[in-house]
Amino acid sequence: MLTGLIIKNFALIDHLEVNFSNGMTSITGETGAGKSILLGGLGLVLGNRADLSTLKNTEEKCFVEATFSIQDYELKELFEELDLDYESITLIRREILPSGKSRAFVNDTPVNLSSLQRLGQELIDVHSQHQTLSLTQSDYQLEVLDALASNQSLLETYRTKLSIFKTIDDKLKKLLALQSEQKQDLDYSTFLLEELIEANLEPGMLIPLEEEEQELIHAEEIGMNLVKSTQIISAEQIGVEEQLNEIRSALQKVSSVSEKYNSLFERIESMKIELQDLNQDIQVQAEQIEANPSRLEQIKQMLQKIYDLQGKHHCQTVEELIAIRESLDQKVQSTATLGEDLIQLKEQRDVLLHELEELASQLTEKRKTTIPSLREELESLLSILGMPNARFKIDLQPSDRLLSHGKDNLLFEFAANKGSNFGPLKKVASGGELSRIMLSIKAILSRFKTLPTIIFDEIDTGVSGEVSYKIGGVMHEMSQYMQVITISHLPQVAAKGAHHFKVYKETKDQSTYTQLKKLQTEDRILEIAQMLGGEEISETAILHAKELLN
The answer to whether residue 166 sits within a structural domain is no
Percent of the chain with pLDDT over 70: 96
* Pair 105, 17 in one domain: yes
At residue 382, the 3 state secondary structure works out as: helix
**Residues forming a β-bridge with 518:** 501
* Pair 308, 211 in one domain: yes
pLDDT score for 143: 86
pLDDT score for 206: 85
* Pair 229, 291 in one domain: yes
**Residue among 517, 463, 514 at smallest CA distance from 490:** 463
What is the pairing mode between strands 423-424 and 2-10? Answer: unpaired
pLDDT score for 415: 92
* Pair 117, 217 in one domain: no
Where does a domain end: 287, 304, 336? Answer: 336
Q: Which burial class, exposed, middle or buried, applies to 527 when counting CB atoms under 10 A from its CB (0-12, 13-18, 19+)?
A: buried
Q: What string of H, E and C letters represents the secondary structure of 152-182?
A: HHHHHHHHHHHHHHHHHHHHHHHHHHHHHHH
The answer to whether residue 447 sits within a structural domain is no
Q: Please write the tens of the pLDDT for every residue from 238-260.
A: 788 888 888 888 888 888 888 88
Query: 243: domain range?
Result: 180-336
Sequence-separated (6 or more) residues with CB below 8 Å from residue 79:
85, 86
The answer to whether residue 358 sits within a structural domain is no
* Pair 228, 119 in one domain: no
* Pair 187, 123 in one domain: no
Where does a domain end: 281, 314, 336? Answer: 336
* Pair 216, 85 in one domain: no
CB 261, CB 251: distance < 8 Å: yes
The answer to whether residue 273 sits within a structural domain is yes
The answer to whether residue 56 sits within a structural domain is yes
* Pair 110, 5 in one domain: yes
* Pair 331, 185 in one domain: yes
pLDDT score for 260: 87
Where does a domain end: 315, 336, 357? Answer: 336
* Pair 124, 232 in one domain: no
The answer to whether residue 458 sits within a structural domain is yes
Sequence-separated (6 or more) residues with CB below 8 Å from residue 540:
533
The Cα–Cα gap between 211 and 199 comes to 18
Q: Is the pTM of this model over 0.75?
A: no
* Pair 80, 217 in one domain: no
CB 272, CB 245: distance < 8 Å: yes
What is the pairing mode between strands 453-457 and 124-128? Answer: parallel
State how many domains the chain has: 2
pLDDT score for 130: 53
Taking only the tens of pLDDT, the chain with its 550 residues reads: 999 999 998 888 889 999 999 999 999 988 776 788 888 889 999 988 877 777 888 888 899 999 999 998 889 999 999 999 999 999 999 998 888 888 999 999 999 999 999 999 899 988 765 556 567 677 888 888 998 999 999 999 999 999 999 999 999 988 888 777 776 676 677 788 788 888 888 888 888 888 878 888 887 788 788 888 888 887 777 788 888 888 888 888 888 888 888 898 889 888 888 888 888 888 888 877 877 888 888 888 888 888 888 888 898 888 998 998 888 877 777 666 677 788 889 999 999 999 999 999 999 999 999 999 999 999 999 998 888 999 999 999 999 999 999 999 999 899 988 888 999 888 888 877 888 888 888 888 888 877 889 998 877 776 777 888 888 999 999 999 999 999 988 999 999 999 999 998 888 877 888 888 999 999 999 999 998 887 778 888 899 999 998 8
pLDDT score for 132: 60
The answer to whether residue 173 sits within a structural domain is no
Q: Please write the tens of the pLDDT for every residue from 432-465.
A: 788 888 888 888 888 887 788 999 887 777 677 7
pLDDT score for 129: 57
The answer to whether residue 4 sits within a structural domain is yes
Question: What is the domain-level CATH number for residue 21?
Answer: 3.40.50.300
* Pair 187, 317 in one domain: yes
